[in-house]
Each structure stands twice: as C-alpha cells, then as structure tokens.
Chain A
Amino acid sequence: MATINSFRRATACLWAGAMLAELSCTGVVMSPGRSGTGGDGGPTGMTAPLCQAGAGPSPGPSYVRRLTRLEYSNTVRDLLGDTSGVADRFPAEELRLGFDNNAQALTVSPVLAEQYLLAAEAIATNAVEANWSRLLPCDPAGPAGADVCAKQFIATFGEGAYRRPLDADDTAALQAAFAAGAATDFKTGIRLVIETALQSPRFLYRVELGAAPVAPSVVKLDDWEMASRLSYLLWHTMPDAELIAAARGGLLSSPESIAAEARRMIMDPRAHAVVADFNAQWLHLGEIGAIEKDAKIFPKFSPAIAGLMREEIDRFLEDATWDPDGGDLATLFTAPYTFVNGALASYYGLTGVTGTAFVKTPVAGAFRGGLLTQGGLLSLLGKANQTSPVHRGKFVREQILCMELPPPPADLMIKPPDLSATLTTRQRFEQHAADGACSGCHHLMDPIGLGFEKFDGAGLYRDTENGQPVDDGGQLTESDVDGPFHGVLELGAKLASSGQVRSCMATKWFRYGYGRGETDADGCSLATIQARFAGGGYKVRDLLSALVETDAFLYRQVTLVGDAP
C-alpha cells in the first residue's frame, strides 16, 4: 500500500504540470493522511499488524467529545423532556473525515458559548414552568425543608445531567448557583441549577478520566463512563435507566456485560436512528431534498419528487440494514426492491402502486436494484441539465471504495463537455478521455460513471439519448474487483463481493463511532471490527456490535502529556 509520502509526492506532481497528471494518478491510495496520534485526528496509513496474542490492549487516542447538536437535543429531551429544538440554532459542526462528530473538530466558539447560555436559559425556564410538578424529587414545603430538598434535587438531577454521581466540586458549583437564585425564590434557585448544569463541562462534553491502569498508559473506563460510551455510540443520547442501574451496580466492567448491554440497545429504535444518521452523512442524503433540475431537460422532476426520493432512500436503507433475513452489504448493493408511493411509482414508470403510502415494491423488471439505482442518489450525482459520469464515478471511488483521488491540477479550466443535441454523454466525454491533461485522473472516475448512463440526470431509466442507443458499459480498475461491467446492477454485484468495500464500511464506522480517524495504534481494533463483520456475513448491524468489543472502545490511552493516570 502506498504511503502518505508517495501520495504527497503525487500531489506535488500535479502542480508541476498537466503532463505529469497521468503519472500522479496511478498512485491512488487508500486512507492517506497523517501518521501519529496527535494533530487533527486525521487517518493514517494502516501499517500496524493485527491483534497479537499476549500484547496488552492498544486503544489508540481518546479525546473528550463535545455533544453534537443532535446529541444535545436528544439529551435534553431525555433529561428534562425538552423538545423545543433549541439546539437547532447552534452553529453547524465542522465536518472532518466526512462526519460531523469528530472529537478534535468539536470546539466551542464564542457564538456557541453564547448559544449554550441562551439554550440553557430557555430549557431551564421551560422545565420550571411547564414541568415543575414532575421536576423535584421532594417537597420543598415538606418537614425536611427547602434546603434539603434543593440538595436532593442537585444530587439526582446532577447525576442525570453529568451522567455520573456528582463529586464535591460539581456539587459545590451547583449549590452556589442555587444559593444565588434562592435569594429571589426557591424556583429561581432550581432554575439556575439547571442553567449551570447545562453549561458545565460534565454535561456538554463526554469527559473520561478512566479507572485503574491495566497496562502502562492504558486504563479501563469506569462504569459510568462506559454507560455513556454505550449510549452515545448506539443511541446518540444519555444512558437510560437500565444503563444507569448497571453502572451503579458496577456491571459494566467486563467485555461480556458490555456486549450484553449493546445487544439490548441495538434492538431499540434509537439504534436505527444512529444508522440512519451515519447513512445520511456517508451518502450526503441531506442534499437530496434540495435537488433542483432544469425543467426544460427534466420536465417530470420537481421539488416534490426530490422529497419523495429522500423518503424512498431512507426507507430502503432502513429495510436493507435491519431486515432480519438481510441487512448485509450484498442486500444493500443488490436488493431487488425499493419503496415508492403512487406519485413516485408513476415518476419511475413502476406499475401497481397507488396512493400516498410508501410500499415495498419489486424493481428487478425495471432494471433497478440496490443502493446505486436509488433515484435520489442518481439525481444527486447529476448536473441540473445532464448526468455526471465524473461525480458518479467519484462517489463510487471515494464513498464506496474509500479511495482518495488526487485533486485536479490548480488553475485547470474545469468544465464538462458542452451539451449536445445529437451526441450521447459517452461520446461527449470521449474528448475528456482523449485529453491527456484530463484522462490522467478521469480514467479513475469516468469509466465507472459511464456505466450508470442508462439512468438520466434525474434518476429515470433510458435506452436512448438524443436518438442514439445508450451504451452502459463500464470498467472498474485499481480495485479488488477490477474488470468490465454493464450497467449499475452488475456494478452493484461487483461491489457487493469486494473486500475493499467491506473494509471501507468498517473504517467509516470506526471514524463515525469513535469520533476520530484511525491511527497506527488501532490495527487490532480495526481487525476486530472486520473479523466480526465477516463472521456474520457482512451485516451492518454487526458493525454496531463490533464497535463495543475493541480495545479502542473498552480502554483509554493516557499517554498524552498532562493526562491524569
């Protein structure tokens, strides 16, 4: 496997001139990036050996993780019943490695600090106004007195908000807030406790200090930290009552008990939402609803169709992931069905479906099947007025095969071939392939993308273009499933059998699940995930189970300077 250095050199060649582009683009590599454990949390070239018997755990780096907007919203919902959506106002997360939950990127800007203040005030006000009767664990007018009741509230609410019992420092800070507010009245005191807690590091971040060392520089997590790791990985929210009880009982310290909790949690709809969020980020699904097309070229397409396409692919992915008899990568790439309602069926020319409800519908007779023939994806990877073999090919290379393409040379005029009333897209792109300055890199994208040509830029099947028959011959190169193919169905079948695709999925889930890039220290963790994935026949839900079984999940590395042991 090529190293980062060769990738860097290859990139530098591009700057030297287009003539070198062809040379540089033969050096496509998997997972280029920086090595080491510091820096920006980026990936590294994986050179570490697989798990070695007898070697101690190798967890890789572990950072505090700030809650994302999604996690914040879910957490205040579960903590206080707040569904006001106040976190929608927070600035968007910085994307890193394609995901919005990278620990290193989740910092707090001045604007976000202020938004946290405003959100805490709004949520706390709601809680004491709308929810007062259910908020307190005691009666402040009771014989024990208001101060005792406040202490009880701070202990119980604080444990929920901080996802662990409070220490003396936590308690003192919340007591101070209560005292300041209680000078007005009891309710104000409680409100200020909530406002304080919601801006404190133990709420906004997943702070892990670890328990006893198990090896030099490696600690196990304590049970409360493990409960939070499980709940945010598998549910994007705070631990539920069962997890809290398990943490309190010291039942989250063995890999077996952790795996058992994970099995329970993966059955829950909240785990489905996590997979849906991964899919949305991985496949850029958020952009489907906003697709607009040139009405002169694609008169049947409309914003309403775009919205239906989003629902279609969401339903397809949900089914393809969780179907008890499927859920494997082969299903994802080749499933001979989709989900349509009457309007979308009519758009695609599928018969037998009417009404507004979405119905699982066979599509094998309509030349469709699998993720890559989803109308939303086909439309997203097209221009407003034509298909885009480049974007379709690039998507397969980058998102499905995890290959990074060298960028186009600087200052090169980048423009697709002009539209034509007589030529097919393939014919127009022949010029692209003949020009050495383009073909050097485009031979990695266009031959894959041209295999999609029987689907137009708005996701509709076609046999002809401008009166000429469409040739959907494609070619995969520099992968483990090289060779010619005809059409997207054959491409899907190839990808479904590719070890590279399987490894890509595991790597992307590692990055998403752990909020960081893989490092040289993560060889064993990745091997564990891949082995588990293979053992179950490449089911996505097994990736979720596997993510709680690795060194990276079960342990924490404390070698960073200044880390407490």
Chain B
Amino acid sequence: MKPFRIDRRALLRGAGGIAIGLPFLEVMTPLERRARAAASPPRRFLVFFSPDGGIHENWIPTGTETSFTLSRILAPLEAHKQRLVILDGVENKVGGYSARPGDDHMKGMGTALTGIGLLEGTTQGGAGDPAGLAGGISVDQAIASSIGTSTKFKSLELGVQAGSSGTVWGYTAYAGANQPLPPDNNPSSVFTRVFASVGADAGAIARKQAERKSVLDAVQQSYTKLNPRLGAADRAKLDEHLTNIRDLETRLTAVGAGGATCSKPADPGKLDYKSNASFPMVGKLQTDLLMMALACDLTRVGTLQWEQSVGNVRFTWVDPAITRGHHDLSHDGDGVADTIEQLTKINVWFSQQLAYLLDSLQKAKEADGTSMLDNTLVIWINELARGNAHSHDKMPYVLAGGAGGALRTGRFLTYKRASHNDLLVSCLNLMGVAGTTFGDPAFCTGPLANL
C-alpha cells in the first residue's frame, strides 16, 4: 500500500490548529460582518457515526452521575469529560422491535436518526425481509430545517469510506422517507463543493450568483412545464428534483459568515480516499473540512460518517495483529478474547477521532469569546449495541458539547431501557426545536428524562 505523505497541516492551514484568524473578507460586506459579530453564536449539531456495535463492558464508565471514571474506550475523551453526557441503557427499540423489514444492521442504521422503521424494498440483508431505505426524516435534518436555513448549506454529510452501496447500510441522514443524503467520501470533492468559490472577489461572486440564478430559473421553468404531463410516479420523482433545485437557488445568495477562526482551507487535491490505508488520513481531512465549514458558518449541521453499517475496514494501524475486517471481527463470540480486544482497540481509536473533533471545536473561538464546543451538540451513534449479538439494547450513545448552554454536561446517566426515539426528541429540543415526539410515536414517550 502506498503510504500517504501529505502534510495535513500544510493542506488545511489553520483547520487543525484553528488558531489562525483570516476572516472571509472576500465574501462579506463590512455591514454583514458587523451584523454577524453582534448576534449571539449559532447553535450547531453534529453526528459522529461509527459502525458494527460497541463492547459495552469496556465502554461503560464507573461511578455516579456526576462523579465517574471514564472507561478504556472513552478514556481518550478525558480532556473533555466535563463536556460529555454518557448515556447507558438507551435502547433502539424501533430498530429492535418494529415489524418493518430489514436485518438488524439495516434496521439499526435506518432508524438510528429517523426513529422509524424501514420501507419495504428489495435489499436482502443477512436476516429478515428485504428492505428499502429509511422510512422518515432524520433528526439532523429536522434540526437543519430550523437552524440551517440561513447558511449556504443546510447540512453537510461527509463520509470516511462511508460506503457506496446504494442501500440502507450506507446512510444516516435522510431528508424524508426514501430520500437519503449520501455522504461525500472524497475530501477533494468536499473542498470543491464547499470552499472552491470562496475567496474570489466580491464582484465575481455576485456575477456568479446572478448567473446561477438565471440558469436555475430557466431550469425550473423546464420542470414546471414538463412535470404535469407525466404519470403520477414519474411526476412525484421530478417534483422532488424540482424542490431540490429551488432549495439550491435559495442557498446561492447565502454567504459564509466567518467567525474569528474562519479561513479558507487549501485544496486537498486528488487522493486515493478509498484505500484501506487512507482511512485515518481521510478521516482527519474530512474532520478538518467539516470544522472549517462550521467555523465559516457555511453550515450548522453536519454528519461525519465513519465507514457504513457492516463496514469492513481493516484497522491495521490500530494494531498490526488486526488482519480481518471490522464487521467480520464483530461477529466473533464473546469467548474469543483476541477479537474482543481488537474490537475494543478499534472503538478506542474512534474515541480518539471524536476527541480530535472536540479539540478542534474547543479551540475555535466564537465572536463572543465562547468556544464552538460551547454552542454545539455532538452525538456519537452506532447502528448496533453489540456486533455479535446484533443487539439494539444498551446503545453506546455519547453526547458532547454545551448545545448553547442547553445541555448540562459532565454527567453519566443510566437509564432502564429508555427508547432512543426519546433521545432524538431531546436532540431537537436541545437545538431549540420544539417537539414532543419524533419518528414512530409507538416508540416515543417524549424527551429523555433528566437530560
């Protein structure tokens, strides 16, 4: 395998260290900058996904709600301990007990953020009836509909070998039932999409925006004329497309705002983002790009999806003894001590990656002097509780960040089979979105108690 020799810090000036303050002078008028600076910092919501289940005994902290010791898997988060809420005993009930189709990985994945069972479909998993995609909107998108309406991107879905299977295994974010938002696995493509147009002079940006508006107006005209002539199923499909074009047009006028820590990253360039060995490097690049998109207020909602459900990355850099894929390992029984050790190490590694993200958020300062971590809610999710049992009880949920002061952190909470739909309601509420139920109401009782 060809080693990567790219210096990440050279690539993303200021993103990793985040201390550089080069505001987006180019994209903001002085008036806009003053207006942004005067407002209180926005709330932000981030999803951090890793697959194939956890190892509960090496994950659960010991101690009480406010006085606890982090476990081996969560130890890398020690520096942010007072910014965490660790949730034990929350169960993905809709994934475990809904009558909808799909195998346990598929159900766990499709319900992870939607809280509603899968659609019927033709994808055959390892068990259960063949299934389609998720049956409803995901909580990050429901949040984005509220807090993401004024930014250039309503949300950004970034992946690290997050799969291209085109099946329910590959997606966490959904705009609605059967409308997955595929994660972009290519840092170069993310850069182009998010940052490439940033940095041109103001006149050029205005001209570009005007051009795009003209083009999209004309494009919409074609759909508006054609769609009524189509059959119902076809018309629904093209109407959805038209909605997405309208959405695109309204975003074109939005510009990045730029807090004190916003700077344009350098183009990561072409790289082999699919090879097994590139996984850690691509993960860092994607984290940095997502961080900078947040710091520049280009978006307020993001997903960082590491692998996909049944992801089979070989974590050779974690331990050379690991020669088998992640999912392959996760099927071994509890008696196979070597495997449990390897899976624990893999989860420790994911914990380190979350710590890197939290470090970056902590170092990034808002216009009012608070840190971005103070104003952000991060949720670490998995599609399974334990891989070999394909279980959905005792899910390894971790919350991090102050959520703009809404979340009391530094706590370890124990629940008795609380439903994860309730946790999704809490996420909505913590982000200032009203609501008492989310997903399938049969599995939801309201916000999670004592959060």
Contacts and interface: CB of A to CB of B under 8 A. Distances in A.
A44 B291 CA distance: 48
Interface string B175-197: 10011111010100100110000
A38 B127 contact: no
B104 A411 contact: yes
A107 B241 contact: yes
Nearest to B154: A110
Nearest to B155: A110
Nearest to A110: B244
B219 interface: yes
Nearest to A184: B207
B40 interface: no
A169 B238 contact: no
Interface string B326-356: 0000011100000000000000000000000
B38 interface: no
A385 to B, nearest CB: 8
Interface in A41-64: 42-43, 63-64
Interface in B73-132: 103-104, 119-130, 132
B417 interface: no
Interface stretch (B42-50, B222-230, B260-268, B280-288): B222-230
Contacts of A199: 215-216, 219, 245
Interface string A394-426: 000000000010011111111100000000000
Interface stretch (B15-23, B162-170, B372-380, B404-412): B162-170
Given A104-B233, A560-B232, 8 more contacts: A8-B129, A42-B130, A64-B237, A109-B175, A120-B215, A172-B221, A177-B214, A563-B232
A461 interface: no
A170 B388 CA distance: 56
A207 B230 contact: yes
A404 B331 CA distance: 23
Contacts of B233: 38, 63, 104, 560
Max chain A Cβ within 10 angstroms of own Cβ: one of B165, B180, B231, B332:
B231
A412 to B, nearest CB: 8
Given A192-B215, A201-B222, A413-B333, A407 B103 contact: yes
A564 interface: yes
Which interface residue of A14, A94, A96 has the most chain B CB atoms within 10 A? A94
Contacts of A294: 323
Contacts of A184: 207
A11 B388 CA distance: 21
B132 A562 contact: no
B219 A173 contact: yes
Nearest to B245: A113
Contacts of B126: 407-408, 414
Interface residues of B, number: 75
Given A180-B214, A196-B218, A40 B231 contact: no
Chain B contact surface mostly: mixed
A366 B132 CA distance: 44
B245 A107 contact: no
Nearest to B165: A95
Contact of B215 (A104, A107, A177): A177
A407 B125 contact: yes
B212 interface: yes
A53 B276 CA distance: 58
Interface of A: 8, 11, 14-15, 33-34, 38-40, 42-43, 63-64, 89, 91-97, 100, 104-105, 107-115, 117-118, 120, 169-170, 172-174, 176-177, 180-181, 184, 188, 192, 195-196, 199-202, 205, 207, 209, 292, 294, 384-385, 404, 407-415, 517, 558, 560-564
A411 B119 CA distance: 21
Nearest to B389: A411
A180 to B, nearest CB: 3
Contacts of A111: 157, 181-182, 184
Shortest 5 CB-CB contacts between residues of A and residues of B: A180-B214, A94-B166, A92-B164, A560-B231, A563-B231
Given A64-B230, A201-B226, A560-B232, A414 B331 contact: yes
B319 interface: no
A40 B122 contact: yes
A249 B388 CA distance: 64
A118 B229 CA distance: 28
Contacts of A174: 218
B72 interface: no
Contacts of B221: 169, 172-173, 176
19 contacts: A34-B120, A40-B120, A63-B233, A64-B234, A91-B164, A110-B247, A117-B215, A177-B214, A177-B215, A180-B210, A192-B214, A196-B218, A196-B222, A292-B276, A410-B390, A413-B331, A560-B232, A563-B232, A564-B229
Contacts of B215: 117, 120, 177, 180, 192, 195-196, 199
A199 B391 CA distance: 44
